[in-house]
Every structure is written in structure tokens, then in C-alpha cells.
Chains A and B, each alone.
Chain A
Amino acid sequence: MTMAYEQQTRVVLVPHWLSAADRDALTACLEAALLREDLPTSTADRLVDVLTELHVARARDVVWPSSAARVRLVTGWDPDTLPVRLSAMELACTLSLPELPAPVRAALTGGRSA
């Protein structure tokens, strides 16, 4: 699985392989964080992009299932493990959330993402 290059913004998106449980926990955490009034607008925008990516990752797996399936076959990861592709800024904003559950933080910084 290679890193991809987003033509419009010149931003590299890196895949982070997250299980369904990790993605659900991340979604809940992002939704809670977006309700905070003290959240800077720029951070909120990036978090909304991460929420969008969580949906897009699922859609990508429906439209083009073979690529991720090959990786799962080789690695033995569970069928619900998907590559969630984030820019460095999106990842940084996500990791800056103090309420981010430890397993999700670990999944984004180590484990399958290392």
C-alpha cells in the first residue's frame, strides 16, 4: 500500500489501518470534540475532514475492494480493517485531542500504522 498524493492541495495522505472498533471510537471522539466551543476553527475543519475520510474509507472499500483485501490477506488482519488516509495536519489535529481513546491513539501512532 503506497502513500498517495492529493493533486489539489499537494498534501500527502498516509494510510492508517483501523479496525471497525477503532473507527467507531474515533468517530465518537471527533463528534464529541466538534461540540466543544473552545475548539479552534482551523482544527475543527481538519477534524471534519477526518470524519469525512472515515466515511470515504468505507466507500472506497466498497467500490475498489481488491486492494485492501490483498493487504488483509497477506497480513492476516480482520476483514473490518480499512486504510484511513490522513494528511499530517489531520493526524496532528486528531492526536491533539486529549479525549482520544488510548487504543485509537496507539493504532494511529504505532501498530499497523508504524
Chain B
Amino acid sequence: MTGLGAALRLLPRRACDVDDLVDAARELCAAGWPGLRLVLDEDDPRRPTLRVEEDERSQGVDLLELAGGISGGTHDVGPAGLAAALRRWVDERPVTDAEARRRGIAVLGWSRTGDGTLTWQVAVRRGTGSVTWTPHPFTSALDVLAVQGAARARAADVVVRCSAVGPVLLLDADEPQLATAALAAPEQVLDRAVEIGLPLGAGCVVVTPGRAVAWAAPAVARRLAGESTEPCAVLPWRAVADLPWC
């Protein structure tokens, strides 16, 4: 970044006008979104709310709060930018059971208890990234198991790039969140590693959800992870399949 660019970032950003955001929300509701019900609630003019409903899921956002988030960021606050911000919010709506069953992919994520352990999660790719599925309170245990099983099978088909950096095998995907999907079928990765010339049968994986996965001999994996400034987990590859679901 040039010196001028750095200085420009310090200038006050243009605030997002809530009325403009409400106008954009009105247009979004009028245009509609396949499979979704979008409702703009303007009963309380001080608290306009946009709600998205899909099957058993529903989520609302206070447009005043959303406007605050847009002002605080580096977003475009023109009509096109506001429409994009609303589409991004809709894109991040909760995943329905039907969508998870149809398109869910098993990936690794941090446990929601915040204890720094990894869990398997069902993620669905959306336009702006991946969204994790949380079973609905009324979803039966059998249905949850079916969704998880299908997601694990689908994960094996995700295209993950394998590359060797010396003694380290790196697994990376176009969508970073999906790199860990390869660990749902570790034997496939091991076969590929042998083709590359890296026998990693006794290896460990270094996992930071949303990042490339590193796979190496235990001592190398410890050296790699020991110097990380970001949280990561090091575990034998055979232990990955036994991680719990969130």
C-alpha cells in the first residue's frame, strides 16, 4: 500500500444511511429470492426489520444494526453496495435440514463449546462462503445421522489439491473451508501422497479450520504447529475420523 493509501484509510468513512438500506431491502423483497420468503417489517419506523424464512428456518435482522456494521466496515454505501450487503446477509441465512441433506459437506471446525477441540460439521457452500448447519430442535436423531452420513460421503468427492513442500503434504481447496473435507476420506489422500513420494502412514495432520491442512511426520508436524501464531490442532490422521460431530 502506498503512503497516500494508508493515510486515506484514516479519513472518516461515509456512514450508511438507514433509509437507503430500507429502500434497498424493499427492492430486494419486491424482486424476491427463489425458495425464500423475504419480509420487510416497517411497523416500528425506528426499528425496520428484514426477515428471511425458508422451510423450518427463520432469521431477522435489525436494519439499524446492519447499517452500523456497514458503516464500520469498508463497504460501498451506494445503492449497489447496500443491495450487495443485503444479498450477502441473505446468503448467510441458516441452513435448512433439506438443504443440508441435499448439499451438506463434512468439514472440520472448532467446537462451539470454545474448548479448542475439533468437531465434524456439516457445511453448505453459498455464494459468499460456507454456512454451517445446526440441526433443528425438532429434527429426529435418525435424520441427523442421515445428513451427517451423506455429508461425509460427499466430502470424499470434494476436489482438494495435494502438494508436497519437502516432507509436508499440503491439502488446499478453492473454498478454504472445504480443505478439511479431504480428511473425511484420508485413505484417498494417503494414496495420493504415496504417488507424490511421501509415505505418511504414521503421520499427523495440522488443522486450522478454514486454512490449508498440513500432513507430515509427527516431529515435523510438531515443528510446524509449534511456531503457529494462530490456533491449530495436531492429531494423528487416524484420530480424525473419530472426532465427534458438533
Contact = CB atoms under 8 A, between A and B. Distances in A.
Interface of A: 4-8, 13, 51-56, 58-60, 62-64, 66-67, 73, 85
A95 to B, nearest CB: 20
B166 A64 contact: no
Contacts, number: 66
A55 B227 contact: no
Given A59-B170, A59-B214, A4 B165 contact: no
A59 B227 contact: no
Q: How large is the interface on B (under 10, 10 to 19, 20 to 34, 35 or more residues)?
A: 20 to 34
Interface of B is mostly: mixed
B208 A56 contact: no
B164 to A, nearest CB: 9
B26 interface: no
Contact of A85 (B170, B208, B211, B227): B227
B8 interface: no
7 contacts: A51-B166, A55-B165, A56-B166, A56-B223, A62-B170, A62-B212, A63-B211
Contacts of A55: 165-168
B11 interface: no
